[in-house]
C-alpha cells in the first residue's frame, strides 16, 4: 500500500474490514532491518522503537541513529516519548515527510521514563494527552498523517475510558491498548478491559499483549472486537508469525541474514534477533554454542551446518 507523500492514509486500511497485524515499537529491536523482515511475512504496519522527542530535536546524531528508513518501509509509524505538546508536534513535523504517522508513548512502565514524565505516567494526564494529539493534528501539514496513542490501563477502567474519549475529541487517529496496568508485567492481559474501551470510542482500537501465534489474532478480535492486533515478543520469537507459521521457518532465518548483510546491521543486533528466532527450534546445547558466536561469518557457518541453506528447502 502506498502511503508516501500523503497519497492515501493508513486509516484507509482500517476500512477494509480485516484485522490489521502490527509490529510493536520495541527498544533496540523494531529497527529498519527487522521491519523489513516482518513486512515480508504479512505484517501490515510497523512502528519504530520509542524515540525521545526532545533528544531527537536537539541532536543530529540522535536523529541519524534513532530514525532510519527507506522507500519500502511503509506504512511506518514513528513512536515518540514526550511530555509537552510542542516537542511532540515539532518531532512529528520533522519525520512526517518520511513516515505515515506518529504515536505518543503513554504505556512505557520503566522507572526512568516515568520519572522523566514520559510513558505510562501520561495516562494520568488526560488533558495533556489531549493537547499533544491536538498539536500534532494542527501542525503537521498533511491531512492523512495519523496521530495515535499507545496506553496501558488503569485499575479503575473509568479513568482509561475518560482518557480515550478525551483523546478522541482531540482527533486521535486510533488507540493501542496494552491490556495491563502500569504495575503488571507478566500477569494475564485484561481483554475485557480492551473490549470496554473498544465499545466506548468510535476510533479504531488495537489490542496489545501476549500475541504469540496467528490464531491469537482472530481469537482476540472475536473476544474484543478490535480493529487490529499488535505483537512484540511473539514477533521477536517468530517474525513469520503473521503469515501463519508456528515457529520461525528456515526461509525467514535466511531472509534475516540477507537483510542484515545488505543493510549493514551491527553484529550484536543481528545475533540477538537470531537468538530469539532459534529459541523454540533449537536444543539447549545448540543454543549455548550459538549464543557464544562472535562474528557474522561464524553465525552464517553455524546456520549452514546446523540447519542447511535455503537451497536445501527447494531440493
For the stretch 60-73, pLDDT in tens is 888 888 999 999 99
Average pLDDT for 9-25? 92
- Confirm or deny that 232 is annotated as ligand binding: yes
Q: What is the DSSP letter of 182?
A: T
- The one catalytic residue in 108, 121, 164, 252 is 108
CA 279 to CA 262: how far, in whole Å?
24
Q: What is the DSSP letter of 25?
A: P
Question: 3-class SS at 308?
Answer: coil
- Confirm or deny that 50 is annotated as ligand binding: no
Looking at residue 8, its pLDDT comes to 66
Tell which CATH architecture fits domain 15-243: Alpha-Beta Barrel (3.20)
Assign 1 a pLDDT band (cuts: 50, 70, 90): very low
Question: Is the backbone peptide bond immediately before 75 cis, with ω within 30 degrees of 0?
Answer: yes
Q: Is the pLDDT of residue 315 over 70?
A: no
Question: Model's pTM, two decimal places?
Answer: 0.95
Average pLDDT for 154-159? 97
Q: Is 108 a catalytic residue?
A: yes
Average pLDDT for 164-181? 98
Average pLDDT for 149-161? 97
Q: pLDDT, tens digit, for every residue of 205-259?
A: 999 999 999 999 999 999 999 999 999 999 999 999 999 999 999 999 999 999 9
Instruction: Give me the helices (H) in 5-125, please.
Output: 11-14, 32-39, 53-58, 60-66, 85-95, 111-115
Q: Is the pLDDT of residue 313 over 90?
A: no
Assign 185 a pLDDT band (cuts: 50, 70, 90): confident
Provide the residue ranges of all domains of the chain, joining segments of one domain with +: 15-243, 250-312
Residue 71 CB burial class (10 angstroms; 0-12, 13-18, ≥19)? exposed
Q: Mean of the per-residue pLDDT values for the chain?
A: 94
C-alpha distances in Å from residue 275, one per residue of 99, 254, 258, 286, 292: 30, 14, 16, 11, 10
Looking at residue 40, its pLDDT comes to 98
Average pLDDT for 110-127? 94
- Confirm or deny that 26 is annotated as ligand binding: yes
Which of 1-10, 237-246, 275-284 is predicted least confidently? 1-10
- Confirm or deny that 233 is annotated as ligand binding: yes
Assign 6 a pLDDT band (cuts: 50, 70, 90): very low
Looking at residue 226, its pLDDT comes to 98
Amino acid at each position: 500500500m502506498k502511503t508516501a507523500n500523503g497519497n492515501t492514509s493508513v486509516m484507509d486500511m482500517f476500512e477494509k474490514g480485516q484485522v490489521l497485524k502490527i509490529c510493536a515499537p520495541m527498544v533496540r529491536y523494531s529497527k529498519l532491518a527487522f521491519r523489513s523482515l516482518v513486512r515480508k511475512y504479512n505484517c501490515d504496519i510497523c512502528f519504530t522503537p520509542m524515540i525521545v522527542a526532545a533528544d531527537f530535536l536537539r541532536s543530529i546524531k540522535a536523529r541519524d541513529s534513532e530514525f532510519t528508513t527507506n522507500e519500502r518501509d511503509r506504512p511506518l509509524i514513528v513512536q515518540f516519548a514526550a511530555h509537552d505538546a510542542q516537542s511532540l508536534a515539532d518531532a512529528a513535523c520533522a519525520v512526517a515527510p518520511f513516515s505515515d504517522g506518529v504515536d505518543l508513548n503513554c504505556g512505557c512502565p520503566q522507572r526512568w521514563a516515568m520519572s522523566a514524565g514520559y510513558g505510562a505516567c501520561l495516562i494520568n494526564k488526560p488533558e495533556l494527552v489531549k493537547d499533544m494529539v491536538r498539536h500534532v493534528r494542527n501542525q503537521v501539514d498533511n491531512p492523512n498523517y495519523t496521530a495515535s496513542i499507545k496506553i496501558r490501563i488503569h485499575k479503575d477502567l473509568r479513568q482509561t475510558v475518560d482518557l480515550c474519549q478525551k483523546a478522541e475529541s482531540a482527533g486521535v487517529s486510533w488507540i493501542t491498548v496494552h491490556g495491563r496496568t502500569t504495575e503488571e508485567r507478566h500477569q494475564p492481559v485484561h481483554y475485557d478491559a480492551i473490549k470496554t474501551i473498544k465499545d466506548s470510542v468510535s476510533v479504531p482500537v488495537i489490542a496489545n499483549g501476549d500475541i504469540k501465534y496467528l490464531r491469537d489474532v482472530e481469537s482476540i478480535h472475536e473476544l474484543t472486537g478490535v480493529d487490529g492486533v499488535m505483537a512484540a515478543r511473539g514477533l521477536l520469537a517468530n517474525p513469520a508469525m503473521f503469515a501463519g507459521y508456528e515457529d520461525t521457518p528456515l526461509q525467514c532465518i535466511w531472509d534475516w541474514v540477507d537483510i542484515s548483510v545488505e543493510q549493514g546491521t551491527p553484529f550484536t543486533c543481528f545475533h540477538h534477533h537470531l537468538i530469539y528466532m532459534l529459541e523454540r527450534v533449537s536444543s539447549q546445547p545448540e543454543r549455548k554454542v550459538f549464543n557464544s558466536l562472535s562474528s557474522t561469518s561464524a553465525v552464517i557457518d553455524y546456520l549452514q551446518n546446523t540447519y542447511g541453506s535455503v537451497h536445501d528447502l527447494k531440493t
